[in-house]
Structure 1
Amino acid sequence: MDFITSAGPLISLIAGILILVIPRLLNYIVAIYLIVIGLLGLFGGHLR
């Protein structure tokens, strides 16, 4: 459980650095984030 709670800030930090280095990545990162959040929202309760 500790890994899951610490993965969010780590992923955010890496994404932020990548966006600063390659600004065009912002579109892809936001799109992937929205897709993942949407899928978790739809199927998150059914996976358990």
Structure 2
Amino acid sequence: MTITIAHLQPIIAILAGVLILIMPRLLNYIVAIYLIVVGVLGLGLFRGL
């Protein structure tokens, strides 16, 4: 099975949700990192993934 971005998004969402439940102060950082990664991928800067 090949792992693609479509496979990673639900895994990342679950991990982020668990981290937010454990440490709510991480919410700002998790959201910021997620938005940056989605923006970079949306621009196509990592076409090889």
TM-score, length-scaled by structure 1: 0.72
The alpha carbon displacement at 1:25 in A equals 0.6
Residues 1:29 and 2:27 aligned together: no
Aligned to 2:12: 11
- Structure that is richer in helix per residue: 1
- Indicate the structure whose relative CO is greater, using CA pairs within 8 Å and at least 6 residues apart: 2
In the alignment, the residues of structure 2 paired with residue 14 and residue 30 of structure 1 have an alpha-carbon distance, to the nearest angstrom, of 12
SS of match in other structure, 2:7: helix
The alpha carbon displacement at 1:24 in A equals 0.6
Q: Return 5+ residue gaps in structure 2 as ranges.
A: none
In the alignment, the residues of structure 1 paired with residue 9 and residue 18 of structure 2 have an alpha-carbon distance, to the nearest angstrom, of 14
- The structure that has the greater radius of gyration is 1
RMSD between aligned residues: 2.2
Task: State the 4+ residue runs in structure 1 displaced beyond 6 angstroms.
Answer: none
TM-score, length-scaled by structure 2: 0.71
